[in-house]
A = this chain, B = another copy of it.
Amino acid sequence: MDEINFAVLGTGGIGRRTLEVSTYKDGLTPVAACDRHGVAVNHDGLDVEEILDATEGNIAGDGTGDTEDKRVTDGGAAVKQHGDGAGIVASAQGTSTETPIDEIIAESDEIDAVLLALPNLEHDFIPRIAERFAEAEFEGVLIDVLKRSRVIGMLDDREETLVESGITFVCGAGATPGLLTGAAALAAQSFVEVEEVEIWWGVGLKSGYEDNRGTVREDIAHLDGYDIETAREMDESEIEAVIEEHDGVLEFNDMEHADDVLLERAGICDAEDVTVGGILDIRKDEKPTTTTVRVTGRTFDGKRGTNTFQLDDATSMAANVNGPALGYLKSAVRRNRAGDYGVFGPAELMPGF
């Protein structure tokens, strides 16, 4: 396969680590990155180390989602002001702009794939970004790491627009959904009928907390008594109070997690047969529980069994998001070049099981 150039929208935890992991992969060249302060573009390849060094500490915003219109329409992930420049502008490669996403879109003729590493506190935020790329007649891959089931439907609503532009949109291509969705699709291959998929994750986020405040806020929305809207409106001290109340350990059961619709659309099982839960420990880096996918089904010869996939506790959330995201990105570029446009989930990029 030919070389792939890609851009990253958002330089929070996921964006930064994806740039970093890409340096370990063959054939993947990061050529653009932006946050809401600025943009860095170099079609010969960004100097990733310089960007990471210059923006160290320029971590994702406070997680409030910065609901000013300006943010939603013009910006990537929020970053804290730090050093001489804010966000990516602190890098020698960065230039300040009020319209960073438009600047990336203006360069997109020469970009094969764009990773949307943006918080999606408004359900249609990512879908609207996709629309803007489609309006500019971008022909290539858009890929996100979103979690919420309902966003997939919003992307489907825009499928015709995406197809007309020549966009292959891969949604939910991180850890879960993403790596674990793919694992479920693989584990299902022993069975002619899948009865149940149980995804159970553990995340220890002490040292990664600052980088992942947006993710933690999204997770809080899944706790009993909270939803996306209430979580978005909480201020930092309220978030901290919730964490304190749970002694830093948040357990989630039966989350709204896009694995369900992503497995259904790949024909693996019905969405209602998928359950997702997990435990997040914000005060330790050790995982509070082992991330496990269990797929239970019936074989062609009438047996019933459960296949299991487990991630080592030593693998961080970041490791399990960024490797798969880049893998799915490469796969999607192949599909895009073959003329497969529209909306895809990670399980649909697996062998045609």
In-complex Cβ contact of A300 among B20, B303, B312, B352 (8 A): B20
Residue of B nearest to A182 (CB): B186
Please give, as numbers and ranges, the residues of chain B lying within 8 Å of A24 by CB-CB distance: 192-193, 300
In the assembled complex, A215 has its CB within 8 A of some CB on chain B:
no
Interface residues of A in 306-336 (CB under 8 A from B): 306-316, 318-320, 322-324, 327-331, 333-334
Is A307's CB under 8 angstroms from B301's CB? no
Is B303's CB under 8 angstroms from A319's CB? yes
In the assembled complex, A350 has its CB within 8 A of some CB on chain B:
yes
Please give, as numbers and ranges, the residues of chain B lying within 8 Å of A300 by CB-CB distance: 17, 20-21, 24, 318-319, 322-323
Determine how close the nearest CB of chain B comes to the CB of A80; give it in whole angstroms. 21
Residue of B nearest to A25 (CB): B192
Residues of chain A at interface, number, CB under 8 A:
55
In the assembled complex, A189 has its CB within 8 A of some CB on chain B:
yes
Is B267's CB under 8 angstroms from A26's CB? yes
Is A191's CB under 8 angstroms from B267's CB? no
In the assembled complex, A226 has its CB within 8 A of some CB on chain B:
no
Is A351's CB under 8 angstroms from B323's CB? no
Q: Mark A284-319, 1 if CB is under 8 A from B, else 0.
A: 000000000000000111011111111111111011
7 contacts between A and B (CB under 8 A): A17-B300, A191-B315, A191-B323, A300-B319, A307-B310, A307-B312, A309-B309
